[in-house]
A and B are shown apart, each in its own frame.
Chain A
Amino acid sequence: MEGREVADGVQREDEFDRPWLGLRGEHLFRMLLSLLAGSPKRQRRLLPAIPSRGDPRARELELNPLLGLSFALHYYMPAWCRAHDPDRDATWPLDECLEAIDRTASTEDVGAFCLESFLADRSWRQLRHEARALLKELGLERAPIPSPLPIFELVKPSS
């Protein structure tokens, strides 16, 4: 496992960015961006079983791929920003858009985290647009994505 060189010469594990699925946080975030940059049709293929509004699974992090996607984007964003966008200037619009989607959910309502919203809502379209723009702005190619994406594996604790 990679580590960080410290002053006393001892390699210390970076507990804040342990590799997951063999990838570090910045690579995982890029994979998620690449997913978002694709079409809704492809996204549904990579993220199967998105629950409909009213489906009780829609409220569960481990059962709703859209909640998992939002969580994973937030979860790996610091590692991405530290590596590619330390001032967050490029990532800011996508983050704002993601937070706008987050705010649609409350303790009582799943908000935009359901299939109907995912396919039709402007907020999700904007998030896809921002993902494409971010990759383009930073001159990054889309990363390969396993199909289906094990999104629930990405939201398990790293330690």
Chain B
Amino acid sequence: MSATDATLSPIDLVLVLGSEGLLQHTLAAFHGSAAVAPATLLTPQLVQPVRDLEEIVEVSRGRTERRFFALWHRSDWALVGPPRSSAAADREEKARAFLAYPSPGNDEARIRFFSEHYEWSLHSWYGTYQERTHLFVAADPELARAFSTRAERADRRTKILGHYERVTRPDDFGRFALFYDHGMEGRFAWRLARESDGFPLVLFEFPEASILWWQRAPWAQVVAAQRNPSSRPLVAVDRRLYRITDARLFDAITWRGRGQADLPQLIVPEGTEPAVAFDFLDRLDALGGVRDVGERVGWAQTYVHGGGSEEYHGLFYARDPAITGRFCEIAGDFSESGSVPIHGRT
């Protein structure tokens, strides 16, 4: 995200983890609210006015055209409320361009654009391959609060990842970063930790009694270990949190070339309470899990597998959006010398 001093008109942002069921339930909860209808569904390919909330719900349930439903699932999309002014004839075209070419550089511009042109907007994209995230942007705080409350009640898989009220500066939000660092795994977090004069802690889960080449190194210090946790009664596992004090060793053990199973489960700053890190391994939701760890210890990074054979991407969260901003800057430094596309920051 490019830094800017420009301010926004105050908006509320609600970041929600949830399935399509979230949309269905939430919008159904808004039924009858004049603030919500009419709405327009935007995808990179089309603009689909929806007459009323029943139609939105029908669309979300896939009861309309199959083609439409497929697009709904696969691409970035946004559902937008009434325009804030009747001007800007090419408004939808510009809005769709944000969906067609998402990038970290235009996340901020995207939110700015939608907040300036629509009373509210709901954005959806993949957070992980198993989890879809939604961002509700509204000028009306009452509407945002209603969305937040009702979204959480939508179904048990739905979780509020963040509710940022009366945001006026881009740096007031953006705690998550989704990124690819293939071939440079872990380096961004290493550099971030070193900027605070600490060494990153790396969490791995191994089959019990195994000993890997680097575990003999005295400069890979075991901070804490947990053997056969009660949460995993059927398998013998050895969880270890390491403090690595050598850049080359850190690089070698986090590098994807060591095999997918050896990607770190979690990278956190020095001083992290081991129990916080170990608890993360029992979480089923990567987004919520990394958010909770990051809130407690400052920042956290993990990897999410899926999308295809041996595919994965990184997920970062910091309690302070400025740290996420710095993380993205570090990643940008590497991008300029290699090819590490950054997927986005929210």
Q: Decide if A50 is an interface residue (CB 8 Å cutoff).
A: no
Q: What is the bound-complex CA distance between A88 and B255, given in angstroms?
A: 12
0/1 string, B187-231, CB within 8 A of A gives 1: 100100010000000000000011111101111000000000000
Contact stretch, chosen from A69-77, A132-140, A143-151: A69-77
CB neighbors of A among B244-260 (8 A)? 245-252, 255, 257-259
Number of interface residues of B (CB under 8 A): 30
A71 touches B247 (CB 8 A): no
Q: Which among A4, A18, A71, A77 is the interface contact of B217 at CB below 8 angstroms?
A: A71
B211 touches A18 (CB 8 A): no
Q: Which 3 pairs of residues, A with B, have the shortest CB-CB distance?
A: A157-B246, A15-B247, A61-B216
Q: What is the bound-complex CA distance between A60 and B211, given in angstroms?
A: 13
B209 touches A108 (CB 8 A): yes
B257 touches A77 (CB 8 A): yes
* Chain A interface size range: 35 or more
CB neighbors of B among A14-64 (8 A)? 15-18, 25, 60-61
B216 touches A75 (CB 8 A): no
Interface centre among B194, B246, B248, B255 (most CB of A within 10 A): B248
A82 touches B217 (CB 8 A): no
A105 touches B211 (CB 8 A): yes
B338 nearest in chain A by CB position: A82
Residues of the B chain whose Cβ atoms lie less than 8 Å from the Cβ of A159? 245-248
Within the complex, the shortest CB–CB distance from B98 to chain A, in Å, comes to 25
Q: Which among B190, B211, B248 is the interface contact of A17 at CB below 8 angstroms?
A: B248
Q: What is the bound-complex CA distance between A60 and B250, given in angstroms?
A: 21
Q: Decide if B4 is an interface residue (CB 8 Å cutoff).
A: no
A106 touches B211 (CB 8 A): yes
Q: Decide if B183 is an interface residue (CB 8 Å cutoff).
A: yes
0/1 string, A92-104, CB within 8 A of B gives 1: 0001000100110
